[in-house]
């Protein structure tokens, strides 16, 4: 493509051209930041390590922008042609970035290397934009370099602000990650077309720009139209059993799978949040019976459940007739709605979420505990996801456990699901040590949950000695796993998983996060 600039002066036509170029700067800045945020978000969705993903994307992007700026130097001889080419390339790479990375994660298992390549390409193309746009501005009207830089930077930073706000509050909630990124790429195409058509000197050149931009626009449109089917196929590749429900809530990716039924006892319904298994209908009763019933040994009129939006812990609690109230605090109302209305899941809850004794609060557990000023609870059940992100690690901190203590009646108990003593022993024992640091007396114990493997809990109280592992006299009949005999053995740990020294977790030093990430190695 050979594009040349017409002769423009500082007359009204020249001012209009400058405004058009500055508008392109604005669009480019907004789009560039959206691409970075999209890569960070996708990595957080798929891998869960938001700090590492953010650091990698920002570091590689900044480095690549510098490389792109240097590589753009020889292109400034023909800035219009180069800018149109860069924008078209950026639209193609940016628009394909999310589906390409999702595919590499689902089918190729090469997410991180591909992410680094895509991030570098986007960063280099974004870095080439400013030198080319600067040259365009100078050719339209020669001015002092510092003034031109000031104009470019002012518009660039405003564009970044708009892009940064538009991504979480407009693009992500309305279009989703994949289509939102494609829509962003369409803005790059529009910027290339408007600048190319307005400043190109010949009709043939304008027609060529229009044709190329039109072809790319059609390709982006087809990508957007097929986004749902692509995402469904890619997501299915990540799960063993057929997906029967999937949605992206404001907080996480929610997937329910169902295995082929072999009989009434083998209808394997599984709930996954951000790819992590939350339960299997085959053996979830083992997990929830061992989580709930040891903590119910004693006064249990008022019960607080933190997490547990699937309603299964609440099901076990509400089997006690003397329970007068249950407060369930879970961040994501979409999970609670699913457990209430989606039959494969709601059939497991025994109507717990509709029980008049239960009150659901949609809130962050940490914030809710900090602000709570009501009557104390007899039992607190902390049914949090594993601490594999900074947002979750704070729930396992000294500060959170200390705040929960204020909510507890003098003779009350708390139980914390603490991960696997076998697969992640450091994380498990760190929970006990963190509770002890916050002033709790603790009794660690374990259970065999086949879909999870060996799983652990910590029962804790504030007064007296460590709480006893036993069933309450009012414990309901028909328990399928928890029993006095099982509980008597549950606190024994083999020598290879015996208690070990670990650091405690605080808000500023989330040691459990590192322990959780290093667990499960080789399994």
> How much of the chain, in percent, has pLDDT values that exceed 90?
80
Residue 477 reports pLDDT greater than 90: yes
Q: Say if residue 228 carries a ligand binding annotation.
A: no
Selected catalytic residue, list 156, 283, 378, 383 = 383
pLDDT digits (tens, 9 = 90+) for 424-465: 999 999 999 999 999 999 999 999 999 999 999 999 999 888
**Position 49 confidence tier, pLDDT thresholds 50, 70, 90:** low
Q: Are 445 and 487 in contact (CB under 8 A)?
A: yes
Helix (H, G, I), strand (E, B) or coil at 516: helix
Mean of pLDDT over the chain: 92
Q: Say if residue 144 carries a ligand binding annotation.
A: no
pLDDT digits (tens, 9 = 90+) for 204-242: 888 999 999 999 999 999 999 999 899 889 989 989 999
What residue spans define the domains of the chain?
Answer: 14-238, 243-273, 283-518
Task: Give the relative orientation of helices 172-199 and 203-225 as an angle to the nearest 10 degrees.
Answer: 170
The residue-averaged pLDDT of 82-91 equals: 96
CA-closest candidate to residue 310, choices 289, 288, 325: 288
Distances (CA, A) of 311 to 294, 321, 521: 18, 17, 31
Q: Say if residue 365 carries a ligand binding annotation.
A: yes
Query: What b-and-e string marks burial along 117-133, b requiring 16 or more CB atoms within 10 Å of the CB?
Result: bbbbbbbbbbbbbbbbb
How far is Cα 248 from Cα 342, in angstroms, rounded to an integer? 16
**CATH T-level assignment (fold) for domain 283-518:** Rossmann fold (3.40.50)
Identify the top-confidence range among 44-48, 105-109, 297-301.
297-301
Find residue 399's DSSP bridge partners. none
Quick one: pLDDT at residue 232?
A: 87
The reported pTM is 0.84
How far is Cα 185 from Cα 308, in angstroms, rounded to an integer? 39
Count of residues in the chain: 523
Q: Give CATH for domain 14-238.
A: 1.20.1250
Residue 299 reports pLDDT greater than 50: yes
Active site residue 383: yes
Q: Say if residue 274 carries a ligand binding annotation.
A: no
């Amino acid at each position: 493509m050979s594009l040349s600039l017409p002769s423009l002066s500082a007359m009204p036509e020249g001012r209009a051209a400058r405004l058009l170029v500055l508008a392109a700067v604005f669009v480019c800045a907004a789009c560039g930041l959206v691409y970075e945020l999209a890569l960070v978000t996708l990595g957080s969705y798929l891998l869960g390590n938001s700090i590492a993903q953010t650091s990698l994307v920002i570091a590689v992007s900044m480095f690549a922008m510098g490389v792109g700026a240097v590589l753009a130097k020889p292109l400034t001889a023909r800035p219009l042609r180069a800018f149109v080419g860069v924008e078209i390339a950026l639209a193609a790479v940016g628009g394909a970035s999310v589906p390409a990375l999702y595919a590499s994660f689902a089918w190729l298992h090469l997410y991180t290397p591909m992410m680094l390549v895509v991030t570098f390409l986007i960063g280099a193309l974004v870095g080439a934009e400013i030198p080319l746009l600067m040259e365009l501005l100078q050719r339209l009207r020669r001015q002092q370099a510092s003034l031109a830089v000031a104009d470019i930077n002012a518009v660039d930073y405003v564009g970044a602000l708009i892009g940064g706000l538009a991504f979480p509050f407009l693009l992500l909630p309305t279009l989703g990650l994949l289509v939102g990124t494609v829509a962003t790429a369409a803005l790059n195409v529009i910027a290339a077309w408007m600048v190319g058509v307005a400043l190109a000197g010949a009709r043939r050149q304008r027609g060529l720009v229009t044709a190329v931009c039109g072809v790319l626009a059609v390709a982006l449109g087809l990508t957007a139209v097929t986004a749902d089917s692509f995402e469904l196929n890619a997501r299915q590749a990540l799960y063993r059993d057929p997906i029967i429900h999937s949605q992206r809530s404001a907080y996480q990716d929610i997937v329910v799978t169902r295995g082929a039924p072999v009989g009434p006892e083998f209808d394997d319904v599984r709930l996954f949040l951000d790819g992590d298994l939350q339960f299997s209908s085959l053996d979830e009763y083992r997990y929830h019976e061992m989580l709930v019933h040891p903590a119910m040994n004693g006064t249990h009129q008022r019960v607080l459940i933190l997490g547990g939006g699937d309603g299964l812990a609440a099901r076990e609690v509400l089997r006690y007739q003397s329970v007068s109230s249950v407060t369930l605090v879970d961040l994501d109302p979409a999970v609670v709605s699913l457990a209430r209305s989606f039959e494969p899941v709601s059939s497991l809850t025994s109507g717990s979420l509709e029980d008049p004794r239960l009150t659901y609060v949609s809130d962050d557990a940490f914030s809710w505990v900090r602000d709570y000023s009501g009557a104390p609870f007899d039992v607190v059940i902390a049914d949090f996801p594993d601490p594999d992100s900074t947002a979750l690690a704070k729930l396992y901190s000294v500060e959170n456990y200390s705040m929960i203590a204020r909510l507890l009646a003098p003779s009350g108990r708390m139980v914390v699901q603490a991960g696997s003593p076998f697969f992640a022993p450091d994380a498990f024992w760190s929970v006990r040590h963190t509770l002890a640091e916050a002033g709790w007396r603790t009794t660690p114990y374990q259970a065999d949950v086949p879909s999870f493997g060996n799983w652990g809990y910590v029962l804790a109280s504030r007064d007296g000695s460590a709480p006893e592992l036993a069933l309450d006299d009012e414990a309901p009949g028909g328990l399928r796993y928890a029993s006095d005999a099982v509980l008597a053995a549950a606190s024994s740990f083999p020598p290879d998983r015996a208690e070990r020294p670990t650091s405690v977790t605080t808000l500023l030093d989330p040691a459990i996060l590192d322990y959780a990430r290093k667990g499960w190695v080789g399994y």
